């Protein structure tokens, strides 16, 4: 498990390291510069012409220090300073003075095109305003030129908090960031601007990070060790029972994908509860699955007997994939929400049905929760503001039991919240805060970077690829999560690991099939590769 930090968290870690634990700021800067040089030397040679483009803050000092180290090793290096000389930080002032004393040339903008390698150290994690003036001009010149660009800590112009472009930003070939990954390097579009990313293990003490307690975490391959252990004397009942309530008439594919993914992830038994019209195709495609059907003409009778028995059978329940938006689907969802006594995963059509129900309870024409500076979500109190939003969320949380899992993509979440898709996607971190405010529901907000939230817990996923943006991929995810819960994992941990596993399997599939040809069934096929490697 690793941390992804925002601007304030990184500044606090830096301050604790310097002021509480006595590490000199110049020592931290030297460590950062050496990390930049170590990455650069992997592809450079002595014929390259290197220009360190530096701002007035400590990020600029990192760039000057890296330039000095390279210059003393015999590289052709010059420095271009841009910004206000009256606002130079103390450490940057020291670095510039050292550079001048050893004779590193100080260039002007007219010579920028003469350098084939750029060290971008204009802005660091502290950028909060749009980039304008000379800064904007220089960044545009660099982007339009024929340079290989190394960005120091962040591509200049990218927000460390959310990956947004602050008017204009450097398009780096490589980024070297220090201590911890940054949210702005994980979220898009910042992830694209960063190019190849290196996280340098500089000398920030672990105790400084512990003091700050960063909010966001992400997984790496080491975390596959969190997978549930398989008992050597276990039987199919030992590994849980997954009930997949999915697939209206003619929509059997979603049920198949979710059920098969659950089996591939280790569930002991999987039962599909679906329309009787899907019997033949599902029993042909997945004979391993148990099958149970509801009859739309006898649904009220079934609700009282058969369906309740199925709910009682399960260790975990999935409801929604391909379920449809009919009155039958609505009745099934209502039954599951009201009667299920085990962990519940609500996905796809079931989320849209929930959104419809909320809209009927709270007829919201427009939700202003994210509009205007005064309503930005900055703390727990502000998250509760907005009468319409609060009423809608109160209605939702009163319907669902604690630890219920919802797995919406952005459009489904927008429907649920009464917002536009752009309001959700443009404020992903704030959206997660709003979802988790004053309730214990678990959300897996599916996007290029899937976000998992519950109360104060935050997970951001870094596995996966754009080939996974294909029909059925979300159905596979619900099956994976359900299987992990069936085998004994706590709900939040199962969602985080399930999202990570899903992305890893997608990456394996993309390497084999390519991102254009990848299908949801390929993700299931690749699960066995990932899980086999994890168990070896």
Strand runs (DSSP E) across 342-491, as ranges?
344-346, 405-406, 442-445, 451-454, 457-460
Q: What is the mean pLDDT of residues 328-356?
A: 95
Q: Does the pLDDT at position 333 exceed 90?
A: yes
Buried b (16+ CB within 10 A) or exposed e, 255-282: bbbbbbbbbbbbbbbbbbbbbebbeebb
Condensed to tens digits (0 to 9), the pLDDT of residues 98-120 reads: 999 999 999 999 899 999 999 99
pLDDT at 389: 63
Condensed to tens digits (0 to 9), the pLDDT of residues 209-235 reads: 999 999 999 999 999 999 999 988 888
Buried b (16+ CB within 10 A) or exposed e, 183-200: bbbbbbebbebbbebbbb
Report the percentage of the chain scoring pLDDT > 70.
93
pLDDT at 393: 76
Better-predicted residue by pLDDT, 313 or 373: 313
Q: How confident is the model at residue 375 (pLDDT cuts 50, 70, 90)?
A: very low
Condensed to tens digits (0 to 9), the pLDDT of residues 457-503 reads: 999 999 999 999 999 999 999 999 999 999 999 999 999 999 999 99
* Sequence ranges of the domains in the chain: 2-218, 234-535
Condensed to tens digits (0 to 9), the pLDDT of residues 264-275 reads: 999 999 999 999
Q: How confident is the model at residue 356 (pLDDT cuts 50, 70, 90)?
A: very high
Q: How confident is the model at residue 377 (pLDDT cuts 50, 70, 90)?
A: very low
Q: What is the mean pLDDT of residues 361-371?
A: 51
Tokens for 49, please give them. Answer: 């012409």
The residues near 315 (Cβ < 8 Å, ≥ 6 apart) are 240, 241, 242, 342, 343, 485, 486
pLDDT at 303: 61
CATH 3.40.1190.20 fits 234-535, yes or no: yes
Q: What is the mean pLDDT of residues 346-366?
A: 83
Topology of domain 2-218 in CATH is Rossmann fold (3.40.50)
Better-predicted residue by pLDDT, 295 or 1: 1
Q: Does the pLDDT at position 395 exceed 70?
A: yes
465 backbone φψ class: left, alpha, beta (φ>0; ψ -120 to 50): beta
């Amino acid at each position: 498990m690793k941390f992804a930090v925002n601007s304030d968290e990184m500044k606090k870690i830096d301050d604790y390291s310097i002021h509480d634990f006595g590490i000199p700021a110049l020592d931290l800067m030297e460590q950062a510069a050496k990390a930049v040089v170590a990455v650069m030397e992997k592809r450079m040679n002595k014929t390259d012409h290197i220009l360190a483009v530096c701002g007035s803050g400590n990020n600029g000092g990192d760039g000057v220090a890296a330039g000095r180290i390279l210059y003393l090793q015999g590289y052709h290096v010059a420095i271009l300073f841009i910004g206000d000389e009256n606002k130079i930080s103390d450490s940057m002032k020291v670095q510039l003075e050292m550079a001048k004393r050893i004779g590193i040339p100080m260039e002007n903008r007219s010579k920028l095109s003469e350098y084939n390698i750029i060290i971008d150290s204009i802005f660091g994690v502290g950028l909060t305003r749009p980039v304008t003036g000379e800064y904007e001009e220089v960044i545009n010149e660099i982007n339009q030129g024929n340079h290989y660009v190394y960005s120091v800590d962040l591509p200049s112009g990218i927000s460390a908090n959310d990956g947004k472009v602050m008017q204009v930003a450097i398009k780096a070939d490589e980024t070297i960031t220090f201590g911890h990954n940054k949210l702005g390097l994980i979220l898009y579009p910042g992830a694209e601007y960063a190019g190849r990313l290196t996280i340098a293990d500089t000398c920030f003490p672990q105790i400084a990070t512990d003091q700050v307690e960063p909010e966001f975490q992400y997984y790496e391959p080491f975390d596959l060790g969190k997978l549930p252990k398989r008992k050597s004397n276990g039987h199919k009942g030992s590994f849980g029972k997954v009930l997949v309530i999915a697939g209206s008439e003619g929509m059997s594919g979603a049920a198949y994908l979710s059920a098969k993914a659950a089996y591939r992830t280790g569930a002991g038994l999987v039962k599909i509860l679906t329309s009787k019209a899907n019997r033949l195709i599902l029993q042909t495609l997945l004979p391993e699955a148990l099958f149970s059907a509801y009859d739309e003409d006898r649904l009220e009778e079934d609700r009282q007997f058969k369906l309740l028995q199925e709910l009682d059978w399960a260790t975990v329940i999935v409801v929604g994939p391909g379920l449809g938006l009919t009155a039958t689907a609505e009745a099934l969802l209502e039954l599951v929400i009201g009667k299920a006594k085990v962990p519940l995963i609500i996905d796809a059509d079931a989320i849209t049905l929930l959104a419809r129900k909320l809209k009927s309870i709270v007829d919201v024409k427009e939700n202003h929760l994210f509009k205007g500076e005064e309503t930005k979500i900055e703390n727990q109190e502000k998250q509760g503001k907005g009468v319409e939003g609060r009423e809608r969320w109160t209605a939702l949380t009163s319907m669902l039991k604690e630890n219920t899992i919802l797995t919406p993509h952005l459009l489904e979440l927008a429907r649920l919240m009464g917002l536009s898709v752009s309001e959700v996607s443009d404020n992903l971190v704030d959206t997660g805060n709003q979802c988790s405010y004053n309730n214990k529901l678990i959300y897996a907000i599916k996007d290029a970077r899937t976000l998992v939230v519950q109360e104060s817990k935050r997970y951001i996923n870094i596995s996966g690829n754009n080939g996974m943006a294909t029909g059925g991929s979300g159905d596979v995810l619900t099956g994976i999560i359900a299987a992990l819960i069936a085998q004994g994992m706590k709900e939040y941990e199962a969602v985080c690991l399930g999202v990570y596993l899903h992305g890893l399997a997608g990456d394996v599939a993309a390497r084999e099939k390519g991102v254009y040809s990848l299908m949801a069934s390929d993700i299931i096929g690749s699960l066995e590769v990932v899980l086999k490697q994890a168990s070896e």
